[in-house]
C-alpha cells in the first residue's frame, strides 16, 4: 500500500519507520532528512543524463532513459530497502515528490512494502525546516567566558532531565579559531539546519530548551536568523569562574593538540589578538608553556565575550558564581539557581 503524506504527517511517522531518500549521492550529501538512508535511483552522472534528455527531447524519452538506466537495479533497490526496513514499512521521498520517488514507491509496494510517500519531497521538507526557526521557543541560554565548561555543564543538565540542544555538536565545531580541534569536519549549512530543526521539533515547547551562548557563526555554520533572534532575547545564566580555573580547563582541553595546528589557528586571529600578543602566544606554544598560551589568547576572547554580553538587555543576564571547573557541581548550582529564582 502507498500512502501519500503531507510534510506535517510525514515527520510524525513512528521512529521505527526508516526513510529512504532516493535522490543522488551528491544531493544526499548536500543535505537530507535527519536519519534518512540514501537509496539513489540514479547516480550523479545518470541524473544529469536524464535531466539533459528531458530538456532536449521531452518527458517521455527521459522516462524511457530512466528505465534503461535502472532496469538491472531494481532487485538491488528492494534488497537495500529490506536491509533498512525488514518490517516492510518505509518512508520514501525524492526532490519534489515526482517520478523518482513514485517509481521507487511503486516497486516497493509491488514487493509488499507499506510505503509512506512524502508529498512535495525534500523541497517541501526544507521549507518546513526553515519555517521551524521562526516558531517561538522557551529558550534558556547558558553563558560564560571561554573555558567555563559550558558544553560539559549542558551535558550534565541533560543527564538531570533538562532539555538541551548542543549547537557545537551539531555544527561539529567548538566555536573559536581552534574549534575544529584538529579533527572535526563540519556538516553543510543545510545539514546543520536540518539536524537543528529535528531537535527543536522533538523538544517540549512549554519547557526550557537550554542552548549555549554562541555568536551567530559556529565555525563556518550560521545559526538561523529566527532562532538567533530568540537566543539574543532569552534569559542568560552567565557562569563566573576564576581565571585560573578557566586556564586549567583549557590547558586540559587544548594542550594536547598538535602544535602546528595551534600556531596556524593563532596566526589566523593575529589582527584581533595584536602582533605582540600573537608573538607571545606562538612562542608559548613552541616552548610548551600552554598555560601562558591560553592566558594570551583569553585576552582577546574575554574582551569579545564581554562585548557580546553588553549588547543584551541587562535584565536578561543573571550572574552565577562558581568556585572552580567542577562541571557536575556547577550544573547543580545552575539548577538550584533556577529553582530559587523561578526564572521563566
Tens digits of per-residue pLDDT, 279-337? 999 999 999 999 999 999 999 999 999 999 999 998 999 999 999 999 999 999 999 99
The mean pLDDT value for 100-110 works out to: 97
pLDDT value for 119: 97
The mean pLDDT value for 87-104 works out to: 96
pLDDT value for 320: 95
The mean pLDDT value for 62-67 works out to: 92
pLDDT value for 41: 97
The mean pLDDT value for 103-129 works out to: 98
The pLDDT mean for the chain works out to 95
Share of the chain above pLDDT 90, in %: 91
Q: Which of 94, 107, 139, 196 is catalytic?
A: 94
Confidence label for 272 from pLDDT (cuts 50, 70 and 90) = confident
CB 128 within 8 A of CB 192: no
Confidence label for 20 from pLDDT (cuts 50, 70 and 90) = very high
- How many residues in the chain? 344
pLDDT value for 114: 98
pLDDT value for 255: 87
User: Given a cut of 70, is residue 344 above it in pLDDT?
Assistant: no
Cα separation of 272 and 288, whole Å?
A: 23
167-216 tens-digit pLDDT: 999 999 998 889 898 899 999 999 999 999 999 999 999 999 999 999 99
User: Given a cut of 90, is residue 112 above it in pLDDT?
Assistant: yes
Pick the residue with more confidence: 255 or 100? 100
pLDDT value for 343: 67
CB 83 within 8 A of CB 102: no
pLDDT value for 176: 87
Residue 94 a catalytic site member: yes
CB 318 within 8 A of CB 238: yes
> What's the chain look like in SS3?
CEEEECHHHHCCCCCCCCEEECCCHHHHHHCCCCCCEECCCCCHHHHHHHHHHHHHHCHHHHHHHHHHHHCCCHHHHHHHHHHHCCCCEEEEECCCCCHHHHHHHHHHHHHCCEEEEECCHHHHHHHHHHHHCCCCCCEEEEEECCCCCHHHHHHHHHHCCCEECCHHHHHCCCCCCCCCCCCCCCCCHHHHHHHHHHHHHHCCCCCCEEEECCCCEECCEECCHHHHHHHHHCEEEEEECCHHHHHHHHHHHHCCCCHHHHHHHHHHCHHHHCHHHHHHHHHHHHCCCHHHHHHHHHHHHHHHHHHHHHCCCHHHEEEEECCCCCHHHHHHHHHHHHHHHCCC
Domains defined along the chain, listed by start: 2-130 (3.40.250.10), 136-341 (3.40.50.300)
Sheet-wide strand order for 2-5: 2-5, 114-118, 89-93, 19-21, 37-38
Cell readout for 342 is 523561578
Share of the chain above pLDDT 70, in %: 99
CB 140 within 8 A of CB 208: yes
Amino acid at each position: 500500500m502507498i500512502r501519500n503524506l503531507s510534510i506535517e504527517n510525514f515527520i510524525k511517522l513512528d521512529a521505527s519507520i526508516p526513510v529512504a531518500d532516493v535522490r543522488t549521492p551528491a544531493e544526499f550529501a548536500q543535505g537530507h532528512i535527519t536519519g534518512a538512508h540514501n537509496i539513489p535511483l540514479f547516480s550523479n552522472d545518470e541524473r544529469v543524463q536524464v535531466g539533459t534528455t528531458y530538456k532536449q527531447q521531452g518527458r517521455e524519452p527521459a522516462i524511457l532513459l530512466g528505465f534503461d538506466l535502472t532496469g538491472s537495479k531494481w532487485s538491488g533497490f528492494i534488497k537495500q530497502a529490506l536491509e533498512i526496513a525488514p518490517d516492510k514499512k518505509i518512508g520514501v521521498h525524492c526532490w519534489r515528490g515526482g517520478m523518482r520517488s513514485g517509481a521507487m514507491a511503486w516497486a516497493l509496494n509491488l514487493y509488499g512494502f507499506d510505503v509512506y510517500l512524502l508529498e512535495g519531497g525534500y523541497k517541501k521538507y526544507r521549507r518546513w525546516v526553515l519555517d521551524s526557526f521562526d516558531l517561538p521557543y522557551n529558550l534558556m541560554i547558558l553563558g560564560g567566558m571561554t573555558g567555563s565548561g559550558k558544553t560539559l555543564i549542558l551535558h550534565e543538565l541533560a543527564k538531570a532531565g533538562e532539555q538541551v540542544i548542543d549547537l557545537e555538536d551539531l555544527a561539529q565545531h567548538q566555536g573559536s579559531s581552534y574549534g575544529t580541534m584538529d579533527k572535526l569536519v563540519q556538516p553543510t549549512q543545510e545539514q546543520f539546519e536540518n539536524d537543528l530543526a529535528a531537535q527543536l521539533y522533538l523538544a517540549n515547547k512549554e519547557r526550557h530548551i537550554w542552548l549555549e551562548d554562541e555568536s551567530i557563526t559556529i565555525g563556518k555554520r550560521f545559526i538561523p536568523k529566527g532562532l538567533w533572534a530568540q537566543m539574543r532575547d532569552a534569559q542568560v545564566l552567565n557562569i563566573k569562574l576564576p581565571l585560573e580555573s578557566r586556564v586549567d580547563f583549557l590547558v586540559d582541553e587544548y594542550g594536547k593538540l598538535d602544535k602546528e595546528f595551534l600556531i596556524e589557528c593563532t596566526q589566523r586571529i593575529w589582527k584581533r589578538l595584536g602582533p605582540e600578543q600573537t608573538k607571545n602566544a606562538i612562542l608559548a606554544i613552541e616552548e610548551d608553556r600552554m598555560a601562558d598560551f591560553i592566558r594570551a589568547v583569553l585576552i582577546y576572547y574575554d574582551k569579545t565575550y564581554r562585548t557580546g554580553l553588553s549588547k543584551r538587555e541587562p535584565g536578561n543576564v543573571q550572574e552565577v558564581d562558581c568556585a572552580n571547573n567542577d562541571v557536575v557541581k556547577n550544573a547543580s548550582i545552575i539548577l538550584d539557581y533556577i529553582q530559587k529564582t523561578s526564572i521563566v
